[in-house]
Each structure stands twice: as C-alpha cells, then as structure tokens.
Structure 1
Amino acid sequence: MSAERLVIERLGARGEGVAWLGGRRVFVPYALVGETVTADVDGDHARLIDIVDASPLRIAPICPRFGDCGGCAVQTLRADAYAAWKRGLVETALANAGLKLGVAPLVDAHGGGRRRVAFHARFDSGAAHVGFMAARSHRIVEIDACPLLAPELGGALNAARAIAVILAARGKPLDIAVTATLGGLDIDLRGAGPLDDSETGALIAAADAHDLARLTNHARLVALRRAPHIDIGPATLTLPPGAFLQATQSGEEEIAARVLKATEKAQSIADLFCGVGAFALRLARRAQVKAYDLDAAAVAAMRAAAQAAQGLRTLDGAERDLFARPLNASELNDFDAIVFDPPRAGAAAQAAEIARSAVPAVVAVSCHAQSFARDAAILLKGGYVIREITPLDQFRYAAHVEIVAVFEKESRRKSAKRRLLG
C-alpha cells in the first residue's frame, strides 16, 4: 500500500471516484469528480486520506457515519449533480450494451424513507455488534440511527440489538431483516440456525418488550402478536416472512403508477416475477391478470389478498420458475400486455420469449441497470421499440437505481400508422 496523489475523472457504477495511476484505474470511495486527493492505494482500490482540491459540487453529508458506514456511497454530491450521476448509470449501461436510447430525468422516490432494512450482527468474545457493513469490508459499523429509514422503523435498531444479545453465545454471523407493516415491525432472522427452548423463550419475551408484530427465524414462526399487514392498492395483504417489497412506499407507488398507465388499454395482463402482487393487485381493478412467481408463499399471500378484496376482476396466481421455465411466446400471445420485474440477475430467457411474442405492450421493471440493458437489447432485437425509460431513486445515496421502461411491438405501431394514413 502506498500513498498517492490522484485526480478523480469520474464516478463509477458503485459511486466511487475513478482515477488513473500508472496506466490502471484506481477506485477511491467518497471522492468526487474533478477532485485532487491523496489516498492509500492497494491494487485497484484506495482509501481516501485527504482532499487536496475539493469539487465545487461537494456538500456536507447528512450522516456523521458517512465515510465509515458502507450503506451509502454518495452523500456529499450536490443534488443536481447527484441526479445526473444516477441517471447516467442507466445511460452508461445502455451504451455498454450497444444501445443509444433516451433516458428521462431521475424521479425522486425516497418519500418518507426506507420501510425495510437489514442489520448485520457479528460477535466478539460474546459481545454483540449490530449495524451495517463498512464499505468493501465485513467489519460492522455500529450505528445509533439511520436518517434514511422511515419513521415506522424507529424501534428497529433497539429490537435488533436485543435479539443479537440473546443469540450472542452462538457466535454466528446474523442478519436481521426488519420491515415496517401496518401491524408493527416484522423481523426475520437469518444465520442463527435452529433455536433451543431457552433462546426461543427469550426471543418471545423480546418480541413482547419491543412490541413486534411478528418474529421469525429462517421464515419459521417464533412469535406472532399482530398480523404483519400492508396495503397494496385495493387489497390488504399479510406478508410472508422475509418477503420482498420495494424499498420505499413511494417507490412502489411511483413504479405502479407507470405500470398502470402503460397498460391502461389492456384487458388481459401477465405479471411475471410478481412477488406479493405489488402490480397485479392494482392491475386487477380493471383487467384480468395472471401472475407468476417462483416464491410459493408470495403467490399464496397475493391470492388470499385478492380473494378478500372488493371490486377486483380475475387475478390468478401460479407458482412457476420463470428462469428454468419461462412462459413461451405462444402462452404470452394470450395477453394484451406483459409486466415483468425480475431480480437483479434480470430475465434473459423470459425476455427472449417475450421478444418472440406478438404482445403489443411490455413494461420492464428493474433494479439493476446492466441486466436491464441486456434484456432491453433482447426485446429490441425481437421487434420492440422503447416508448420511455424512467429511472427512479428509492435507494437514496446508494449506487442502485430502479428503472421502468415501456416497450411497444413495432409491427403494431406500423399497423396503427397505416390505419391513420388510410
């Protein structure tokens, strides 16, 4: 490791400053474009020592832990430049995939803050340390609070600490996932393994003391005091343990609004990688929806919510592994529109089948710019055109961006144009 003077040329995909040293790229966390810095360089990464010449775009961070805690990548960049950087993540991913496409301005979808959080607990000589990981490290940065969390998660950290203390004797790394629900905090533990009677009793007492709605261990029930409900459009849904949700309520609503608008003329819709039905339950107000996901518990929860809701049209949910067995083009042609929201890895196999189909409208939702760009290229090659690409920021200060893109089959556009021209 050596101390070097570096000039930052750009921000990378992880929010790190990128400089050149001896013909190789060096990544410097927390440095900004145009800054001259000194840093301890170790291979292609460096630790920031000092800012010799600061960027005029540099502002004060909102959190005293910024620079140590790895939860945030970019807090010190002025708002307009920050929005341009996040939008640029999508533009760069598209360009790297050989696509020259317009990207709309970034939409702020942080709202009231994140409604779910994962704390990490590590143990040293029986003492519990709870917080977030340091950047590029497994070291725990203990925190008193996080300014990015929704107020409903106000008691999450104290509850997580109490749980970690109970399980400290195990010495196993522990992840504590907390979700804010209408019934209170819903916590799922990962890493503890099977619990003994003493630990179970202590955790039940902790759930009472911290007024938790539910506590599960690897999705197995430990304590249930109130149902962990959330509202999705017209439905009220009981969350399966550890279920996926969009990070913020505002983010879910912003994405759903764009999905609904893009499919407003469709009477029959396929919702692929549907999860608990964030889109399907809303779409079913005015269309017949078939929703598919590998997560059987999520699909069951969605179906139960739909059955209890008023005013929905048909919503049929099915468990299906869309990676191993994507809906083929023939199956897809039964629908007027398709919505797909895959995990970070994207959905190359499913996108290939969509590209072969004749479905007139497709909405792609993604949390990973690179896999989105790859899937978009597949659809474009199959005859789709893009109507719009909108980046949304519900992971404020992190190097993640949500994307909603609307596609239309080119053959349908040409047919409509011919009709208009007579």
Structure 2
Amino acid sequence: MTETLPPNTPQPDPAPKGEVTIEAVTHHGMGRTADGTLVPRVLPGEVVTIAADGPKIITPSPERVAPPCRHFKACGGCAMQHASDGFVEGWKAEIVRTALRAQGLDGDIAGVETSPADSRRRARLAGRRTKKGALVGFHARASDTVIEVPGCRLMLPALTALIPALERIAALAASRKGEAGLTVTDSEAGPDLHIDTDKPLTEELRLSLPEIAREAGLARLVWADEIVAELVPPVQRMGRARVVPPPGAFLQATAHGEAALLKCVRDAVAGADRIVDLFAGCGTFSLPLAERAEIHAVEGEAAMLAALDRGWRGAAGLKRVSTEARDLFRRPLLPDELKRFDAAVIDPPRAGAQAQVAALAASHIPVIAMVSCSPASFARDAKTLVEQGYDMGPITVVDQFRWSPHLELATRFTRR
C-alpha cells in the first residue's frame, strides 16, 4: 500500500525564524537544525528561513531537484521528491547503517535497488463523500485531509486511471464524516479492489457494485470481508505458479522490488535442497524456490497458504511444497524442527520475529536468508544471530517505496 508518514512522526516547527542551516535529515525525511527544529522538504547544508507556510530556501543544496509530481507539497505519500536519486539512495543506506550501529553491528551495503517511478502495483487510497460526489486520493502529511492525486508518479498508470471509478464507489462506501479505505492491486486479469468500510453491504449494493466492477474492468471487488464480484480471478505470477491471493493479502509493492528481493534470496540459498520459508505468505519466495528445492512454507494465515498450495498444484515442474499454518510469534519452529532443513528464508512483519530468530540462532541451520521492511527490528534480530555464531553478509537495500522513508532489505547469514 502507499505509505504516508506514521502518526507519531515529529512535526515541523511552524514558528517564524531567521535564517538557519539544515544539519541533517532524519530517518523520517525531516530536516533538522542545530537546535533540533524539524523542517520538511529540505536537505543538509541548505540555508532556509522557517515560516508558517513552510521553509523558504535561501541557499539550496546541489542535491536539490525539481519534484516530479505536482502534488508533492500537499500530498503525504512522498517525503523526498526534492532530493536527487543519488542522495535518496545514500540516505536510505545510512538509515540501515545507523540501525545496525545502534546494535553494535557494522554492515556492508552491497547496493540500493530503487523501483522506477509509476511502478507501484498496490496502493491504499482514501475515499470521502463530498457535497458534489466523492473525493479519492492520499492523505496530506500527518493529516486526515484527502488530497486528489491525478497524475501521481508512484502508481502504475492503470491504477491511476481507475480513480474515476473509485470515486463512484467511494460515494457508496464512505460518508461525509468517515472515509473508506480503497486498496487496489494490479493483477494479470485487471485491478483487484478491496473496500474497507463500516457501512453495511445492502442488497441494493450487491446488485449495483458488480455492474460498476464490470464497467471499470475490475477483476475482483471485495466489500469488507465479502467478495461481491469476481469477474476474473486476480492472478499474481510467482515463478511458474499462478496464484490468486485472498482479499487483502500482502504483496510486495512493485514487481521490480519483488524481483530484487527474490534474487537476493535465491543467491543466499543456492545449493540448498530443503528450505523452510517462514512467514511465507502466498508464496512470493516459496514458489520460485520450488523450481530447485523442496520447500516447507509456514504462515499464520491459512487462507494465504491455501492460495499458495493451489498455485503449486497448478504449476508444472516444481518440487514438493508442503504447508503449515502456524503462529510463528507464539509458536516458532524450534531447533529440533529446523534441523532437517539446509536453509531458511524469513520475511517477518515490521515488528520482526524475535522468538523465531532466537530459535534459528539456537539451531545449526547453515544458511538464513533474511528479508525485512524495518531496519530497527532487522538490526535487533541480526544481533541475535551474530552473537550466536552467524556471519552477516552484504546487505541489499530495496527501495520499493520511492521518495518515502520506507525501505526493504535482504541479506544472508551463514553459520560459522
């Protein structure tokens, strides 16, 4: 989904000030002055004046560029469009290094893989009713105000073109006081739409929504937890397999980012014959890896494992893939369960996987490929592995959330 700054993101100081110099940029993308004042849309070394309507640049940084999207100042979906690509890459790599240093670790950054503009295949937009109809877009920075984003430079053009249809749906799903969440995902068969709303699904809506879905070219339309229309299965390609994820299932944000992460994982576990995939989801890694190895996929959501299993059974030429529905936070795979595998892949949620990583660290599994969307929880878990006898390889930073403070990363741990 399209990420905005977290609710607890420090906010800029709106009080008028004289000229100040920006000392650094925080991991949230906010400029910081010597006295700790936070300023948006600035870069290190710039001299600015701060006013209620935003910073005025007196001396710009050589890394400053013209934002490619006309909505940049108002929309909260992006934080760093005013910075060069090279600066953003270095900034994201330093976020990872800083998180590692906080745990007493040094990390070698192998490179930064940045997804191109107009490539997000999945986005969560907000829909709100208005006097004239409905408004669909992203939230303003740290606000519940909805900003229209025609010509957005994040999403695939096919998703941007869907906004007029989403406005029709928002008029039905949202209210003047409350908004509806509209998560749209590109698929081989067309957009897959999940509507997050508290409004009840009436018989009238059950009749009208499928027609809207047909006119908009949607593959599937889901209202809350009910599939209202599935005109064509919303297939996602995972290696040789074709998977239909359950509504709301996690997918990597861009095809480019997924390919970069998959390459890192494949390289890490190359030569392994038996691999356990922890937090396997719908099979992003399990199914491509099954081309060369037997896979045991473990995931807490049974519906995602069912989709993975159907994809495996419908694909040709894959080795055996077994599945296990299990809450890895409460019941991690223990060392005696891990000993039958040559390698592990782990891609936990943002909070990381302390219990499961502790079990991996206590095992003698030779290789662990770790993927993470949180440098802080990754560094904490990496410290556990290193202290228990694993060496950490070079880290690849994968920037699917272009121009935002968010990132993914992947690396290999090998048992000493």
Do the two structures share a fold, i.e. TM-score over 0.5? Answer: yes
Matches within 5 A, 1:267-416: 267-410=273-416
Q: Do structure 1's residue 11 and structure 2's residue 22 form an aligned pair? A: no
How far, CA to CA, are the matches of 1:320 and 1:126 in structure 2?
48
Q: How much is the aligned-residue C-alpha RMSD, in angstroms?
A: 1.6
Q: Aligned letter for 2:15?
A: S
- Which deviates more, 217-226 or 106-115? 106-115
Q: How does 1:105-254 map to 2 (within 5 A)?
A: 105-110=111-116, 113-124=119-130, 127-169=133-175, 171-254=177-260
CA distance in 2, matches of 1:122, 1:154: 17
Give the SS at the match of 1:390: strand
Cα deviations across residues 226-273 of structure 1 (Å, max 9, x unaligned)? 110111101011121111110001111111111111111111100000
SS at match of 1:236: strand
In structure 2, do the counterparts of structure 1 residues 171 and 48 end up closer, same or farther at CA, with 3 Å as the change threshold?
closer
Asked if the contact 1:111/1:249 (under 8 Å) is kept, the reply is no
Match of 1:92 among 73, 76, 98: 98
The structure 2 residue matched to 1:59, chosen from 65, 68, 77, is 65
CA distance in 1, matches of 2:340, 2:138: 46
Unaligned runs of 5+ in 2: 1-13
CA offsets, 1:18-58, max 9 Å, x none? Answer: 1133xxx22211111111222247xxxxx623112211211
Counterparts of 2:203 and 2:331, CA distance in 1: 42
Q: Deviations over 1:344-389 (max 9, x none)?
A: 1111111111100100000100111111111111111111111221
> Could you report, residue by residue, the CA deviation over 1:129-157 in whole angstroms, capped at 9, with x for unpaired residues?
21001111111111213112123324332
Stretches of structure 1 that go unaligned for 5 or more consecutive residues are 42-46, 411-422
Contact 1:124 1:171 in 2 (8 A): no
1:31 aligns with one of 42, 55, 59: 42
Q: Secondary structure at the match of 2:109?
A: coil
The residue that corresponds to 1:418 in the other structure is none
User: Does structure 2 retain, via aligned residues, the 8 Å contact 1:365–1:405?
Assistant: yes
Partners of 1:235 and 1:39 lie apart in 2 by 54
Question: C-alpha distance in 2, partners of 1:50/1:79?
Answer: 22
Higher relative contact order (CA 8 A, sep 6+): 2
Instruction: Say how many residue pairs are matched.
Output: 402
SS at match of 1:352: helix
Question: 4+ residue runs of structure 1 moved beyond 6 angstroms?
Answer: none
Could you say which residue in structure 2 is the equivalent of 1:259?
Answer: 265
Q: Secondary structure at the match of 2:100?
A: helix
CA contact (8 A) 2:108 2:393 kept: no
TM-score of the pair, normalised by structure 2: 0.93
Q: Does the residue aligned with 2:124 lie in a helix, a strand or coil?
A: strand
Q: SS of the residue aligned with 1:192?
A: coil
User: 1:171 Cα shift?
Assistant: 4.5
Q: Would you say the 8 A contact 1:207–1:214 is kept in 2?
A: yes
Secondary structure of 2:120's counterpart equals coil
Moved more, 296-305 or 104-113: 104-113
Q: What code does the residue aligned with 2:21 have?
A: V
Cα 1:315–1:157 shift into 2, 3 Å: same
Task: Tell me the distance in 2 between the aligned counterparts of 1:130 and 1:111.
Answer: 21
What is the CA deviation profile of residues 143-189 of structure 1, one whole-angstrom value per residue up to 9, with x for unaligned ones?
21311212332433222211101234574321000000011010001
- Aligned partner letter, 1:355: A
* Range with bigger deviation, 161-170 or 61-70: 161-170
Structure 1: distance between partners of 2:296 and 2:179:
39
Decide whether the 8 Å contact of 1:13 with 1:399 is kept in 2.
yes
Q: 1:124 to 1:109 in 2, by over 3 A?
A: closer
1-side partners of 2:272 and 2:118: how far apart?
Answer: 32
| Shift, 1:302, TM fit | 0.2
